[in-house]
Every structure is written in structure tokens, then in C-alpha cells.
């Protein structure tokens, strides 16, 4: 019966050389795929870096109009100047607003920190003053006790010396 029980047990799986080779090939293929993906990403970024400026130049070239008529040229230049000033004013307003918000936030933060520091400092000073007062009181009491003990000891010594003499 013992022989039967051992023969009915499933055998432990062993890794064969073929399985190891397949696993190694799978890992190698995954590594190759990830390298291919990285290369494609780099290629796409390089193409974009070239295509964007070329596209901008072509769009700009399409929008260039010949200024043969001086009146038309002046009118278009005036429009461009006005548009540029409008854009610059918009940027200036936005930058000024951001600067004001930042300086307000900095000022509020600084005031809050200074207030917090003053509170902590006053608490620390009160604590030090309280401790100083307690220490001075203890020192006075101990000094008084010590002086009394010295007087008592001197009196006792004087009495004993007087009794001996």
C-alpha cells in the first residue's frame, strides 16, 4: 500500500533545457521590443524638432503679402503695431497681476511667521523668567538654611569648647 501511495503522487516539475531557452528568448524579444519603442520615440521627437520650424516658416511665407501700395503698407503696419501693443499690454497686465499676487502672498506669509515668532519668543521669555524666579527663590531658601546651619554649628562648637575649658 505504501508503494501505491508513492506512485500515485504527482512528480515534481523540472525545468528542461528547452524551457530555459524559451524563457531566455522571450526575455531577449521583450528587450528588443523596448529598444525598438525607445528608438521610435527618439525618432519621432527628432522629426518633430525639424518639422515644427519648417511648418512655421511655410505658414509665415504663405501669410506674407506683397506691399506694393504705400498706403496699404502703412495701414497694415499700423494694424500690426496696434495688435502688437495690445498683446504687450495684455502680457504686462498679466505679469503685473502675478507680481502683485506674489508680493501679497509673501507679505502675508512673512507677517504670519513674524507673529508666530513673536508669540514663541514671548512664551520662551515668560518661561525663562518663571524658571529664573523659582531658581532664585530656591537659592535664597538654601542660603538661609545654610547660614542658619552654620550659626547653629558655631554655637554648638562654642558651647562645647566653653564646657571643655
Q: Where are the domains of the chain?
A: 24-60
Say how far apart CA 81 and CA 87 lie, in whole Å.
10
What pLDDT, on a 0 to 100 scale, did the predictor assign at position 127? 96
Say how far apart CA 114 and CA 102 lie, in whole Å.
18
Say how far apart CA 109 and CA 103 lie, in whole Å.
10
What pLDDT, on a 0 to 100 scale, did the predictor assign at position 30? 76
What pLDDT, on a 0 to 100 scale, did the predictor assign at position 73? 83
Where would I find the beta strands (DSSP E) of the chain? none
What pLDDT, on a 0 to 100 scale, did the predictor assign at position 50? 82
pLDDT (tens digit, 0 to 9) for every residue of the chain, 165 residues total?
444 545 555 555 555 566 655 565 666 777 788 888 888 888 888 888 888 888 888 877 777 767 778 888 888 889 999 999 999 999 999 999 999 999 999 999 999 999 999 999 999 999 999 999 999 999 999 999 999 999 999 999 988 888 876
Map grid coordinates 515534481 to a residue: 12
- 67 in Cβ contact with 76 (< 8 Å): yes
Longest dimension (CA), the chain: 139
Give the cell for residue 99. 507680481
What pLDDT, on a 0 to 100 scale, did the predictor assign at position 27? 65
- Cα separations in angstroms, 162 against 64, 148, 149, 153, 159: 127, 21, 20, 14, 5
Residue 11, classed as helix, strand or coil, is coil
Amino acid at each position: 500500500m505504501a508503494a501505491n501511495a508513492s506512485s500515485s503522487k504527482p512528480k515534481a516539475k523540472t525545468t528542461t533545457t528547452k524551457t530555459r531557452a524559451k524563457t531566455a528568448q522571450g526575455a531577449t524579444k521583450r528587450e528588443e521590443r523596448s529598444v525598438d519603442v525607445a528608438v521610435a520615440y527618439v525618432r519621432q521627437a527628432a522629426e518633430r524638432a525639424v518639422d515644427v520650424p519648417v511648418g512655421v516658416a511655410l505658414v509665415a511665407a504663405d501669410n506674407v503679402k506683397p506691399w506694393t501700395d504705400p498706403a496699404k503698407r502703412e495701414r497694415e503696419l499700423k494694424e500690426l503695431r496696434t495688435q502688437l501693443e495690445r498683446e504687450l499690454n495684455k502680457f504686462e497686465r498679466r505679469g503685473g497681476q502675478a507680481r502683485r499676487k506674489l508680493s501679497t502672498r509673501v507679505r502675508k506669509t512673512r507677517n504670519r511667521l513674524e507673529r508666530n515668532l513673536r508669540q514663541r519668543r514671548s512664551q520662551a521669555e515668560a518661561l525663562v523668567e518663571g524658571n529664573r524666579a523659582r531658581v532664585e527663590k530656591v537659592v535664597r531658601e538654601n542660603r538661609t538654611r545654610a547660614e542658619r546651619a552654620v550659626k547653629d554649628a558655631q554655637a554648638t562648637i562654642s558651647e562645647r569648647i566653653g564646657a571643655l575649658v
